[in-house]
Chains A and B, each alone.
Chain A
């Protein structure tokens, strides 16, 4: 089955830029979505189709895709961004949704 690989944790100082990667074989043709989940809350879609933002999501959140790696970038990080972040794709050959293992973002 298809696998998405994320780093377990990323740490960043307030005001700096956080980058979270999501890797997968032959990922290039699959659009990637990103979710933010804070403790005790349901996930929230923050980026879809590799780099688009739903309404209400700050411009500080952006996404990109290059080769087999998708990246979520959060500019000017603040304490409110501390959360788990998950990437997700639709694996069409197997008709399955796949989530990455998640990355815990810590704001130092």
Chain B
């Protein structure tokens, strides 16, 4: 069955960096686009970034553009999110999610999330 397991969250000071990982299993990873979505405490879902199945296209929310970078390593079946210049408002649970086979930008499967807390 499809599984997505995030890791790399923690407490970090403002201005510092963090790298999140999402390891996939149960499907042909190289055939699917992958996404990151976050949820601040008590708030709604906010899309963060998307990478196409072939790595040729990446898209970002305006709130993170220029600070966050999505990447993937198909040999490790893992998608990453590099978070630079972190701000307190980046505090959230970060979920990775898998797209559908045709890249329709819908989130068919989700991981359980990893919490990032930005605080001094």
A residues within 8 Å of B by Cβ? 1, 31, 33, 35, 37, 42-45, 48-49, 54, 84, 86, 88, 90, 95-102
Main secondary structure of the interface of B (DSSP, over half): loop
B residues within 8 Å of A by Cβ? 35, 37, 44-47, 50, 59, 61-62, 95, 100, 104-108, 110-113
Please count the residue pairs between chain A and chain B whose beta carbons lie under 8 angstroms apart in the complex.
Answer: 59
Cβ–Cβ contact A99 & B47, under 8 A: yes
> How far apart sit A56 and B104, CA to CA, in the bound complex (Å)?
20
- By a CB distance below 8 angstroms, the chain B residues around A43 are 37, 45, 95, 107, 110
- By a CB distance below 8 angstroms, the chain B residues around A44 are 110
Across the interface, name the chain B residue whose C-beta is closest to A101: B44
Cβ–Cβ contact A45 & B108, under 8 A: yes
Cβ–Cβ contact B95 & A42, under 8 A: yes
- By a CB distance below 8 angstroms, the chain B residues around A90 are 104-106
